[in-house]
Copies of this chain bind each other. A is one copy, B any other.
Amino acid sequence: MSEKMGRACFKMSNPPSITTFSAVGGKKENEGPLGKFFDKINDDPYFSTDTYEQGESQLQKQAVRLALEKGKLKNDDIDFIFGGDLLNQCVGTTFGIMEYNIPFLGIYGACSTMSEGLLLSSLCVDNKIGERVLAVTSSHYCTAERQYRMPVDYGGQRAPTSQWTATASGCLVVENSGNPPFVRGVCIGKIVDLNVTDANNMGAAMAPAAADTVKRFLDAFEMKPDDFDYIVTGDLGKVGSSLFCELLEKENINVYKKHTDCGLMLYDFSDNDVNSGASGCGCAASVLCGYFLPKLKSGELKNILFCATGALLSTTINQQGQPIPSISHGVWISNEKNNLDFKFKQRGGV
């Protein structure tokens, strides 16, 4: 039974294992510094289908298949799936996973979706609501541009604060026993709105939500930034990352040396198109599944606090002049099941 550590924060009783995971990307993702960490790369943005939307579904289909194959799992071994994406009505996920015929719970957290899926999967497995639960998400540059901004063929100019939606997917399976990495604790995010209305500056819109979740997690678990190798945000980019560190500094939490952001890691910044960095559900998901989870498995990293970040806007609401509220869910992922417990006790914690 997971232990409540604070409001909507839970410590795992028997930390679930992330037993298999996969990262799939596109051409630009392959050309970036993390290219070699992807399990599969697709150079064709259509993924041999007729539309970009069907292409995005292929991303999830591939990611799920790879995760199952790497884990030597069959479809029927999975109790159910948590999945979602940025497309209207989450159709990337629907058409990506439906052939697997696995029971499904749709989630929506914009670019925080992988945090939300991992959080829910871990809570379920730690409490024996299923033995093996899968989480998946994706994003696609061309589907996101068409839906949120302009079709890519239009060639619209991009603002310096804008970010590049990753063409990528991440998938993972959480089980009640297995090897590292383990999920140790989670923090359900709150919707935070600092009245940012610029849809070309979503990093700024999302930073307050990430800062709120990190503070709530650290308070609830009586932990410090130094307990982690990295505090990993989803896709704040350059602008949002600075703001995130400043907001926490005001709360007397110094994360300058511990913070990294998936949106700053995925692309080569000498490519001018990247502007403020990468974004999209697939950014945080693929960087987690491609880069961080293998290092947490091998022991190269011991602990990260993974806080993917989502901007909860729609074009309709944005055109109506409404602000961009955001959310971030926090997940503590560790190489060990029980480290740091001694420290907890010394601090008068759990």
Contacting pair B104 A107 (CB below 8 A): no
Q: Say yes or no: A107 contacts B106, CB within 8 Å.
A: yes
- How many Å lie between the Cα of A235 and that of B86 in the bound state? 26
Q: What 0/1 pattern do residues 122 to 135 of A give for CB contact below 8 A with B?
A: 01100111100000
CB-based contact A317/B91 at 8 Å: yes
A103 with B189, Cβ < 8 A, contacts A8-B130, A312-B91 known: yes
* Copies of this protein, total: 2
Is A88 touching B53 in the complex (CB atoms < 8 A)? no
Is A193's beta carbon under 8 Å from chain B? yes
A188 touches B80 (CB 8 A): yes
Q: A208 an interface residue at 8 Å Cβ cutoff?
A: no
* B residues near A124, Cβ cutoff 8 Å: 123
Interface-facing stretch out of A93-101, A266-274, A287-295? A93-101
Say yes or no: A94 contacts B2, CB within 8 Å: no
Check B317–A102 contact: CB distance below 8 A: no
B107 close to A107 (CB less than 8 A): yes
Interface flags, A70-111, vs B, CB<8A=1, else 0: 000000100110001011111100110110011111111110
Question: Which one of B106, B129, B312 contacts A109 once the chains associate, using CB atoms below 8 Å?
Answer: B106
Which chain A residues (185-228) contact chain B, with CB distance < 8 Å? 188-191, 193
Interface residues of A in 25-59 (CB under 8 A from B): 50-51, 53-54
Q: Which residue of B lies closest to A190 (CB)?
A: B103
A141–B207 Cα distance when bound, in Å, is 34
- B residues within 8 A CB of A108? 84, 89-90, 106-108
Is B106's CB under 8 angstroms from A147's CB?
Answer: no
Please state if B104 and A320 are interface contacts (CB–CB under 8 Å). no
- CA gap between A107 and B109 in the complex, in Å: 8
A7 at interface by CB-CB < 8 Å: yes
Chain B nearest CB from A315 CB (Å) reads: 7
Evaluate whether A317 and B53 lie within 8 angstroms (CB atoms) in the complex, with A84-B108, A190-B101, A190-B102 already known. yes
Other than A1-B1, A1-B127, A90-B312, give 19 A-B pairs with Cβ distance below 8 A.
A1-B128, A7-B76, A51-B320, A53-B316, A84-B106, A88-B88, A88-B89, A88-B315, A88-B316, A89-B313, A91-B312, A91-B317, A95-B317, A105-B107, A105-B109, A105-B188, A106-B116, A106-B312, A107-B108
User: Using a CB–CB distance below 8 Å, which chain A residues touch chain B?
Assistant: 1-2, 4, 7-8, 10, 50-51, 53-54, 76, 79-80, 84, 86-91, 94-95, 97-98, 101-110, 116, 119-120, 123-124, 127-130, 147, 188-191, 193, 312-317, 320, 322, 325, 327, 329
